[in-house]
Every structure is written in structure tokens, then in C-alpha cells.
Chain A
Amino acid sequence: MNDRKMTELAGLLDDEFIVRAAGTVGSKEKSMKKGSVLKTALIAAALCLALAGTVFAVTAAVRQAKIYAFDTPQEAADAAKAASDSVGGEDVAPGMWHITEHGRKIADFEEPEPIGLEKRLTQYDLVLAHRFGSTEDGWNEMYTARKDTSYGLIRDFQQDTRYVADSLAGVEFLWPENVPALDFSRLESEYRAVAGNETFFERLDRNGAEMVVLSGTYRGEGDAIFSVELSYYPGRKARDQYMVSEDLTEYTTADGVVVAIDEDVTVSGRQAFWVYFDCGELSFSVYGNELPAGELHTLLDSFGLSALL
């Protein structure tokens, strides 16, 4: 099924899906309220007081996006809107995707199959390169392919380059030299990479690089399994998140970086966790199941996250 077919089928969706999805749209499209600098400052101050009284907020470095946790979607939406209005409709996004109130069960983290690239090439209009790597290369398979994303009267394209390996070490060398990087050595030595799931991904469009991502999935002792992802979005400014969660905590790494950790329980009773860190053009996350808190903290300490600040 191509995207046009999916677009056709999406016209059949129930109202509830449309309403829920619309509720997650970033604030930039909403109407802006203009106010004087003084008024804006007062609104911001009032917001800070309100936040301090009712929610948990992760403290963060100046460029780092903040995460605010609320008890109800309405509280999160109100705070996101107030924050958005106070800065002219920019800089915040209601990231309310983790809404426990809806009673949705969180799926278990399933060990993924190795990522095969060949079948994915059918998504593209033009394959520019497709090769299999050797042990010396460190990666298993790669492609560069292009798809026409023109729509209506606008001509555009999307060019993706993707490498797959059996460890992040096999694709780490592709990370742009001028962009801060992380130290994955402890991850690689203490945990077992789920083969064929360590990837480098780069997307270009008519404006140049749109994003670059390194990601991998690892197994630890027992049932511990998690994914690590580092993303770079040129030109992006990380936006604050407003989410509904009862279990958001903050952790300060050995090199002084504050990250947010959210925890919950999956449908089968497994411990689930998400680690968020967003700063400027860079985003880092870890999520998975059954990794004890102490181990997670040690792992976070090892990445050298301060390089991203």
C-alpha cells in the first residue's frame, strides 16, 4: 500500500482518532495572542507559579527543553497553551502522548527482527545505491534512495541513506564530524546488541539535511531490553513537552546533565521506562523494559551527555 492509498483509507477513520490526533498538534498553528512585553512577562511569571504548585518539572540547562508532567490532559493542555501564548505561539508543544488516564495498556518491548533493507527499497522511486557490507566494513547493508514527495504544485524530494549493522560501532563513523557525539563504549561492552538493529539514517530534502539518527537495540541481564537513539535535526530548536504522567522523575548524570525518566508497567506487568533529553538540535532517548534503575543510571553516566549541551 502506498501513501496515497493510505491517505484514501484514512478518510474512513472514526471521529475519536481524529480528535485525539488533533489534540497533539503543536501550538504553532494555533491563533497567537499579542501582548505587551510586560503582559507577556507577567503571564510567564504566573505560569511559573502555577507550574510550581501543581506539576513536576524537570530542571534543565538553558538550551535544554523542559518536560512538565501533569495529572490530567486538561491541565497539560492548559499549561501548554498558556506557555505558548506567553511567547507568541512558539517554543512549546503539548507532547501528551503518554496519557495513562485513557487506560491504555503499554505494549511489551518486543525484540525486533533484524532490519532488512531490501524490502524497504520498494518505498522509493529511485535507488541510488544498495550494497552489502563485509566484516571489514562493520556494517551489513546500506542504501541511498530517493522518493518524489512533490504534492500539489510543490516539487520536492526525500533522499534517505540507511546503514544497518550488528553494533553501533559499525555505523558510528558515519555520524557528522561537526556534530557532538556520545560515548557508546560502555553500552557496547556491557550489553549485547540485537543483531541487525543498529542503524545510521540520514534524510535529505530540497533544503539539505533534515535529520541524522543513530539508533540501536540492546539486551542486558534477564529480560532487560532497550533502545538507544541519538538524533540531530539541523536548524531545530528543542521545544518543551507537556505530558501526563504520574511517574516522571529526574536524574542528574555524573557529568551534570539532568534527564527526565518516565516509568510505567506494560500489559504483562514488565517495568517500562523512557529517558528523554532534548537540547537544541539534538535529541537523545533510551526506552525499554526491565532495566534496573541503578543500571540505567550507570549507563546514562557513561554516555557523556554533557557533550550535547
Chain B
Amino acid sequence: MEDREIVSLFLERDERAVAELEAKYGGLCRRVAGNILRSQEDAEEVTSDAVFAVWRTVPSQVPKSLLAYTLRIARNKAITRLREVTRDKRSGEQDLTEAEPSVPDNAADSLEAAETARLINDFLHTRPEREQIMFTRRYFMGDEPGEIAKDLGVSPLRVSDTLYKLKQRLRQYLRERDVIV
């Protein structure tokens, strides 16, 4: 089923939307959540939560991309879940929650985050498509270089080297624009 048809089902509050979304993007959500949580059981739970979050939110927000919208929710929920799990297991020892995206505290932080987002996206637009894909697969989806390499037909070493150079370039790009990361 096409994305726009699934979105229509959500907007019409037709419960088939949930099954269609799960069938189409459940696997990717499980993959991203699994990469973050390293637990199949938790990844399943996060995926179910993400699908129902789409059910709850789509009437008020019509996503430009259903795939990106759903994956973002799954990723954020997985990161939140990771924070909960690690807090339970290792409270007071080591903070493993750095992977969670920062939540801006105030309007100034929101503006700063929006500007950083714009710069990062501008930077990535200047890079070849392969590098964009490698960056997104590694840092948004949490895939290992070996997995990315298999799908892109290059070696893991090339993926690792490309990501290393991309990080250096991004840091330089942000510094030149007075963003310290």
C-alpha cells in the first residue's frame, strides 16, 4: 500500500492503518530500535509503541514522509528506553544517555538547535549521495560499517574512512560558522 493511502487510513481513523504501517515499516523500526537497544524484545516493544504513537499523532500532524516520521518516533522511543534501562541497571555509575538527542530547555536553545539542524543538513547536501547514505545509516539508524558496506557494495574500511573524513569536515564546517560541538 502506498504511504499516502496509509496516511489516509490514519486520518479516517481506520484501524487497518496500524496493520499496514506495521507491515510496511515495522521491520525498519525494529532494526533501528534493535541497533540502539541490542534487545529483540525491547525493539519489538518500541516498534509497537511507535506505531501507536503514529496512530495518536497523525490526525494533528500530517507527515511529509511517513517513513521518516515513523522511524524518528521509533528512534526516539528506543533512546528513551535505553535511558530507562541503563538508569535502572547502572544508576550512579556511568551515564549512557549521551546518545539521546538534546531536548532544548528554552527558546534560545530551540533557536540554536534549529540553526544547528539547518547547518548539518546544508553540509550533508554538499556531499555525494553515498556519503549522505553512509552518514545517515551509521548515525541515525545505528548500522555498523560492515552492514552499510554490504548494502552499498563497498568495503567496511571505506565506510569507516569515509565517516571519519565526514566527521572532520563537519566539525570544520560547523566551527567556521561558530558552532562548537
Q: Which residues of A does B touch, CB under 8 Å?
A: 1, 3-22, 24-26, 29-31, 93-95, 97, 99, 102, 104, 106-107, 120, 123, 151-154, 201, 203, 210-211, 213, 215, 229, 231, 233, 236, 239, 241, 243, 276, 278, 283, 285
Contacts and interface: CB of A to CB of B under 8 A. Distances in A.
Interface stretch (B4-12, B13-21, B50-58, B151-159): B151-159
A289 to B, nearest CB: 14
A25 B28 contact: yes
B155 A231 contact: yes
Nearest to B32: A22
A152 B82 contact: yes
Given A15-B69, A25-B141, 10 more contacts: A1-B171, A5-B98, A6-B139, A18-B71, A22-B28, A25-B143, A25-B151, A97-B153, A102-B129, A152-B96
A20 B11 CA distance: 25
Given A20-B136, A152-B38, A94 B151 contact: yes
The B interface is mostly helix, strand or loop, or mixed, namely: helix
A202 to B, nearest CB: 10
B157 A215 contact: yes
Nearest to A9: B120
Nearest to B28: A22
Given A7-B139, A25-B31, A152-B85, A19 B155 contact: no
Nearest to B71: A18
A13 B157 contact: no
B110 interface: no
Interface of B: 23, 26-28, 30-31, 36-39, 64-65, 67-69, 71-72, 75-76, 82, 85-86, 89, 96, 98-102, 113, 116-117, 120-121, 124, 128-130, 132-133, 135-143, 146-147, 150-158, 164, 167, 170-171, 181
A153 B38 contact: yes
Contacts of B141: 21-22, 25
A29 B31 contact: yes
A168 B133 CA distance: 30
Contacts of A106: 128
B137 A4 contact: no
Given A152-B86, A211-B157, A99 B129 contact: yes
A125 to B, nearest CB: 13
